[in-house]
Amino acid sequence: MYKNLVDRFIKYAKINTRSDETSTTIPSTLTQIDFAKNVLVPDLIEIGLEDVMYNEENGFVTATLPSNLEKEVPTVGFIAHYDTADFNAEGINPQFVENYDGSEIVLNEEQNIVLSPNDFPNLSNYIGQTLITTDGTTLLGSDDKSGIVEAISAVEYLLEHPEIKHGRVRLGFGPDEEIGVGANHFDVDHFDAEFAYTIDGGPVGELQYESFNAAGVVVTIQGKNVHPGTAKDTMVNAMTLGMAFNEKLPAIDVPEKTEGREGFFHLTSMTGTVEEAELSYIVRDHDREKFEERKQMILTIAEELNGQFDEKRIHIEMNDQYYNMREIIEKDMRPIEIAEKAMQELDIQPILEPIRGGTDGSKISFMGMPTPNIFAGGENFHGRYEYVAVESMEKATDVIRKIIELIAQ
């Protein structure tokens, strides 16, 4: 039905567009710029979209499907990101498993890398379908190149079938979502849509309008290093003090022990010597009040430990990253109601559940354009076991089309 969907996905997936959190440029890598300018822009022009442009300021590629209606209806947007996560993205070689039978899939015989239903029970949901997997040495990039090709295929289909009535549709494909900064400079006024959807979810049916509130925390600890033979009552071991800091956080409030709307403190890195140590955390909670309490707990622990010394040894740098988009979207639930209806008309059961993470929509919603998230179809993102079913991408494309058609009514 969507003649270019799979071929376009394979073409895009093979291109390394990994982002780099250590970079200070926008986008963070030259490979993303090359992909945006020299692949996405020409492809969008070729299928017949208007206003196709690459924004040098924020790295977003935008395009317009003009309305073919005589009446005014809301402009809707569809947004996806073209960067991939922090895993090998060089030499991506997608593999096809047709009519999947539910057994183990050998991704790489030489390295004995196996995609097994024992480890990933969700594979059983795809029996009889066509899977696209990695070769075991890279990620796949379904997060979020599936979302990109689904949005493109939906509007391409509408261009080829002018008898289907639709309003104005905006597409936006951006960089650096995986490192949390891609939407920081998104231009809502230029995008000019009443509401939008990020196509960045997982399995079929996902419809999400709740995300974490999120903060990043860097704890820097200044120790005092002296010879260990004469260290009594003088040495301050920064690493030991760092461990003491971490032990004061709730032991059960960590990612590996939480689910649903439960928040957490996640120690993402720890480096140091006796003289100086650094601990990096991400702090997450769906509830804004609990989120603020978690941030205050970190400050309180630092204050208590600093009280043991004659000078300040623990320094906290804390920055909010994004907020729960429910605060914005629940004021006008039309985007959710339309997406639910679209799925139901396609015999897809909507799965409304909070995201244990964030999307570009978490930031864009607070910029004034409500932007919930719908499924793109992939599984096991960010690693060698990633896969996506062709049928899932087709259903995501169906949902995008149906949303557009419902708005036109």
CATH code of 33's domain = 3.40.630.10
pLDDT at 318: 98
pLDDT at 204: 98
pLDDT at 79: 98
Task: Quick: pLDDT tens for 284-313.
Answer: 999 999 999 999 999 999 999 999 999 999
Domain termination residue (choose one: 261, 292, 321) = 321
For residue 228, what are the domain limits? Answer: 217-321
Looking at the structure, do residues 87 and 204 belong to the same domain, yes or no?
Answer: yes
Cα-Cα end-to-end distance for the chain: 23
Sheet with 61-65, strands from edge to edge, namely: 50-54, 61-65, 169-174, 76-81, 195-201, 373-375, 206-208, 351-352
pLDDT at 102: 97
Amino acid code (one letter) for 41: V
Looking at the structure, do residues 174 and 244 belong to the same domain, yes or no?
Answer: no
Looking at the structure, do residues 32 and 61 belong to the same domain, yes or no?
Answer: yes
Looking at the structure, do residues 154 and 252 belong to the same domain, yes or no?
Answer: no
Domain termination residue (choose one: 321, 342, 371) = 321
Domain termination residue (choose one: 293, 321, 349) = 321
83 catalytic, yes or no?
A: yes
Looking at the structure, do residues 130 and 199 belong to the same domain, yes or no?
Answer: yes
pLDDT at 229: 95
Which residues are within 8 A (CB) of 23 and not within 5 positions of it... i.e. 6 or more apart? Answer: 29
Looking at the structure, do residues 9 and 107 belong to the same domain, yes or no?
Answer: yes
Which residues share a beta bridge with 314? 221
**Active-site annotation holder among 83, 143, 178, 285:** 83
Total number of domains constituting the chain: 2
pLDDT of the chain along its 409 residues, tens only?
Answer: 899 999 999 999 999 999 998 999 999 999 999 999 999 999 999 999 999 999 999 999 999 999 999 999 999 999 999 999 999 999 999 999 999 999 999 999 999 999 999 999 999 999 999 999 999 999 999 999 999 999 999 999 999 999 999 999 999 999 999 998 999 999 999 999 999 999 999 999 999 999 999 999 999 999 999 999 999 999 999 999 999 999 999 999 999 999 999 999 999 999 999 999 999 999 999 999 999 999 999 999 999 999 999 999 999 999 999 999 999 999 999 999 999 999 999 999 999 999 998 889 999 999 999 999 999 999 999 999 999 999 999 999 999 999 999 999 9
Looking at the structure, do residues 9 and 48 belong to the same domain, yes or no?
Answer: yes
Return d(Cα 192, Cα 53) in angstroms, integer. Answer: 14
Looking at the structure, do residues 33 and 75 belong to the same domain, yes or no?
Answer: yes
Looking at the structure, do residues 384 and 364 belong to the same domain, yes or no?
Answer: yes
Q: Give the CATH number for residue 244.
A: 3.30.70.360
CA atoms within 13 A on the CB side of 10: 12
pLDDT at 358: 86
**Active-site annotation holder among 143, 144, 156, 177:** 177
Looking at the structure, do residues 128 and 141 belong to the same domain, yes or no?
Answer: yes
- Tokens 């929509």 — which residue? 361
pLDDT at 406: 98
**Contact (Cβ atoms closer than 8 angstroms) between residue 403 and residue 342:** yes
**Contact (Cβ atoms closer than 8 angstroms) between residue 37 and residue 173:** no
pTM of the model: 0.92
- Tokens 């890195």 — which residue? 269
